Structure 1
Amino acid sequence: MDIRPSYTIYINNMNEKIKKEELKRSLDALFSQFGHVVDNVAVKTVRMRGRTSVIFKELSSSASAFRKPQGFPFYGKLMRIQCARTDSERIPKMHGTFADDEKKKEKKKAKTVEQTTSGANKKPGQGTPNAANTQGNSTPNPQVSDYPLHYILFLNDLPEETNEMVLSMLFNQVPGFKEVRLVPGRYDIAFVECENGGQAGVARDALQGFRIMPSHAMKITYAQK
């Protein structure tokens, strides 16, 4: 079954005990790895309890964010993600197509009325396009011997929003990832352990300079033995 592409995704099964400000910061840090986040809405209401939404600038970003973090543990609860059936008005306004979209809706409504009153058969739909394919960083595939035998990476220049959950989500995309180790009292550095030196090298090359937040480019080196 095809998933209708949408700039907006809904995240269900959220931990309701987390404060709204902290939740928004963590969501920004987590989902910005997939593309530009226009906004995330964490509303503390009965109807929206345990649910929030994230709006992306590009369809490819939302498609990637829909698939990759599915079932990821977020503050002790597994994320359940679905695409929104309709997008916020902010999207067409941002792309400058809001007026055009309104005209299309009016034309579609008029056509439906005309077909109904005339008894004309409905034309087959055009079909829903598949969700946009994501284009992430291409992961190199060198020989293990190309890298030293270090299997622990040292990360620095991390933003304040960084936490174990965000880094685990990021490095879990690279084969061989084992765990993240944070340094108490220091948000700007962390260690990542991989299964072997070759996989650590691949992770370093694939994520070198990655920006968890726009103001910080992550620096990755091998940890000192």
Structure 2
Amino acid sequence: METETLYIRNLHEKVRLESKTISKRLAHLWIAYINKKFFLNILALKTSLNQIFKPYGPIKSLTCARHLRLRGQAFVVFENVESAKKALKDVNGFPLFSKPMDVQFSKKRSFCFIKDQDQLNTMKRKRDEIRIEKEDIAKKKKLEKQEKLLLNSAQQQQFQQQIQQFQSETDKGDPMQLSMQNQSSNITDQFLPPNKILFVQNLPKDTESQILSELFQQFPSFKEVRMVSGRGDIAFVEYDDEASSEVAKNTLNGYRLTDDKIIKVTFAKK
């Protein structure tokens, strides 16, 4: 749809005005914002865009996006569609500060052309509702990311505790006692509660994580393999959910990885 408003993107985000281009009228602004590069970027862009587009007709509004996510974009509003059409035809692709501008008609008309006050208020209210909704979604995603980081940190601690427990159990006791413990462990492992983390034992000493990844990632929802530093014969494998880890456990427990090594796969202890 052709409108009086042009949408411009691919604008240079790191533009600064030289001091000699600042008029006396803006001298106080230059002093006040001398250390704020973003202000200088916006000022430089608006000045340059105004000089480029004003030959095509009176400009009602010229806005450069200030939000970090929208930087490099701008809107130019002319008084009529004909001016906008001519400007788009000539300026689209024009290199501004060594970057070709991408100029298109805006999908929506500017508020400048809406004379009905009720309609204008409705549109602004809808715009604000959409903005608030997007902000809420962004906050929710940020919170979910923080919760995931906390969960990963807790899982890391769980891994370390399991490793330390395993090492302490195998580093003490005589051979007969260890043999009895292993037999008891085999029985106990069968009744461990489901866990999305699997504990893999009896690996060859030189087993690499890539080999285990190729083996376990054939099952859905595979996440990662974690080798235990200093213990090449054990590893932990994580899935996104318990159902997927159970399928992998039931399939690969007792799998012959090499001629002399049959791996043991159980749920990790919680």
Specify the TM-score bucket, using the shorter chain as the normaliser. 0.3 to 0.5
Q: Which has the higher contact order (CA 8 A, sep 6+)?
A: 1
TM value normalised by structure 1? 0.40
